Amino acid sequence: MSTKPPSPEAQAAAAAEASAAVPQTTLFLEMEHVEVARGETVVLHDLSLRIARGEQMVILGPNGCGKSTLIKTITRECYPIPSEHSCMRLFGYQRWVVSELRHHLGIVEASLPSERTPVTRGRDVVIAGLLGTATLWPYQTVTSEMRERADTALGLLQARYLADKLVGHMSAGEQRRVLIARALAHAPEMLLLDEPSNALDMAAQQELREVLRSVARMGIGILMVTHHLGDILPEMDRVLMLRAGRIYADGSKKELITEPTLADLFGAKVEIVERDGYLHAW
């Protein structure tokens, strides 16, 4: 039951439908009865969901519940199963050329973009993001404007000191700063983060969360996937919970982040404490 990316003809049609200018819609994402398969297995079941432009929210759920597949569907790495009863729109359009769509999205993954990244300097990692590549190649032309935009993005995260440092010589927290700067350099409307604190030690997690709070205060939309309660920023109010590929709950943080709800979602006894606006569970 695997699905395939659109044909060249469909890509051309999408190009005609969606230009670099985003339509005047208040919604970032609309899903109606969407199902998504990975290989022969249906991972997301009958999802109906709306996310506003500029909204800052978290997708919470146990491992294997479909969180990352939802992000990959939004970024067009996965595609919904075609159905006359389903519909998915991004910024008001059902079809997009992927390169155009990603002008409007900043994507931050837990892993480095390329095996060459550790021997690449921080500024060049950010510039490569502007060029849509995992790393810089000799044939690519880098303009002074690109360097300026990269330095500006690093500056927003108080990370200009990393511009000339090799990524392989950075701490895990510093690497994550550079990857966020890479995602922000083209001024996206929405920042998508998939398990942002994975593989980070305690100090790096705290550093990452403060960096993300600074991004949230800029008014950039944030869609974060996590199974760690401590990743939820104080600025985030809406929580979408997934379980077994279905929406388990969708509502405010105050309403949903409770010990009984989390115990049922994760299948384990949970205790919650709050500190400095952050929630923690064990």
Residue 46 and residue 216: Cα distance in Å, rounded? Answer: 30
In a domain, 248, yes or no: no
Indicate the SS3 state at residue 248: strand
Bridge partners, residue 224, by sequence: 58, 193
Instruction: Let me know if residue 6 belongs to a domain.
Output: no
Looking at per-residue pLDDT, the higher value among 19 and 57 belongs to: 57
* pLDDT tier, 3 (very low <50, low <70, confident <90, very high otherwise): low
The answer to the question of residue 119 being in a domain is yes
pLDDT at position 44 over 90: yes
Q: What is the pLDDT of residues 158-171, one digit of tens each?
A: 999 999 999 999 99
For 193-233, what is each residue's pLDDT tens digit?
998 888 888 888 988 999 999 999 998 999 999 988 999 99
Average pLDDT over residues 47-71: 95
Asked whether 113 and 183 are in contact (CB, 8 A), the reply is no
In this prediction, residue 241 has a pLDDT band, given cuts at 50, 70 and 90, of very high
132 assigned to some structural domain:
yes
Instruction: Give the model's pLDDT for residue 9.
Output: 57
Half-sphere exposure of 190 (CA within 13 A, CB side): 26
Check residue 103 and give its pLDDT. 87
Residue 23 pLDDT:
60
For residue 277, is it left (φ>0), alpha (ψ between -120 and 50) or beta?
Answer: left
pLDDT at 2: 47
Rounded Cα distance, 102 and 83, in Å: 25
Helices (H), the chain: 8-17, 67-74, 98-101, 122-131, 144-156, 172-184, 202-217, 253-256, 259-266
User: What mean pLDDT comes out for the span 95-107?
Assistant: 90
91 occurs within a structural domain: no
Expressed as residue numbers, the domain containing 141 is 112-187
Whole-structure pTM value: 0.86
Residue 53: inside a domain = no
72 inside domain = no
In this structure, is residue 158 part of a structural domain? yes
Q: What is the mean pLDDT of residues 229-245?
A: 95
How large is the average pLDDT for residues 28-55? Answer: 96
Look over the chain and give the mean of its residue pLDDT values, rounded to a whole number.
90
Structure tokens at 8: 């060249």
Whether residue 108 contacts residue 192, with contact meaning beta carbons closer than 8 Å, is answered with: yes
Q: In total, how many domains does the chain have? A: 1
The better pLDDT of the pair 17, 38 is held by 38
| Other Cβ atoms closer than 10 A to 183 | 22
Question: What pLDDT does 10 receive?
Answer: 59
> Rounded to whole angstroms, how far apart are CA atoms 44 and 3?
13
